[in-house]
Amino acid sequence: MAKMWSCVTVLLLHSIINYFVNCELPSEIEKCVAGDVICIVETINHIVQNYPNGIPEIGLDSLNAISFNGVVVSEAVPNTPMQMNLKFRTLTVRGFENTTILRAKGFDKDLRHGFELSGWTPSIHLDGIYEADGKLMMLPIQGRGQAQVLLTNCQFTCRAKAIEDLRTDGKRYAQITRVKCLVDIHGLHVNFDNLLDNKELSDSMNELINSNWRDVWHTFRKGISSAVDNVAESILKRVVNKLSHDDFYKHL
């Protein structure tokens, strides 16, 4: 009896290992021919729209809420209206589950060419614990507390570079080496608690920021784009670590 259970255990472990090592896209998701960017755009949008909670089998985590620690949004630049250091000790990003991919480039069989995705997200919510000091609109600030940042009508282009990783299963996997995103928005609204010692002054400062959001965005843009880089890179790395480059495409 013990021997029989040992055999069953070995077979079960073997099945589990094969499942995770040789994972593929779920059968209901259409595979595309390498280089067919129209098909790839449709497939990615299908995944985003139909799997907002992710697909654990291929390493895709939930897109509803993605968390980070220690995100620097801006650093003080002397002799500018926005001499502000802003850092999120904790940060949760929401809204990527509503993303629509509009264009794709690359996605060839040759990983050296990299790939590019451009898209649109109606709104991105950033929520977390912040620390800030410096000058904003030439007014001194020093605050810590809860913060919410809402970005509306967000347009982005993300470019990724990768190298080939041939594994012992005989398949090629992608190692992401660089992700760079350019982000533009058509609206910004913030609410920083305790931005100043006085609540009324803090509320007034928040109103001032929101009234001059275009100027503020120029200060925040680099750091927020960097946060989007981290989101995109973390999503891509988890997926390509589990889903081989060969299994992503349709074989003719």
In a domain, 115, yes or no: yes
Residues 20 and 244: their CA atoms lie apart, in Å, by 11
In a domain, 190, yes or no: yes
pLDDT tens column, 194-231: 888 788 888 988 998 899 899 888 877 887 788 788 87
In a domain, 117, yes or no: yes
pTM (2 d.p.)? 0.77
Q: What percent of the chain is predicted at pLDDT more than 90?
A: 24
In a domain, 10, yes or no: no
Which CATH number belongs to the domain containing residue 100 in this structure? 3.15.10.30
Q: How many domains does the chain have?
A: 1
- Which among 192, 211, 212 has a CA at the least distance from the CA of 203? 192
Residue 66's contacts (CB-CB under 8 Å, 6 or more residues apart) are: 92, 93, 94, 96, 231, 234, 235
pLDDT tens column, 19-65: 333 456 667 777 888 889 899 899 889 888 888 888 887 778 787 88
- Strands (E) across the chain are located at 66-74, 82-94, 100-106, 115-136, 139-166, 172-184, 187-192
Amino acid at the residue 172: R
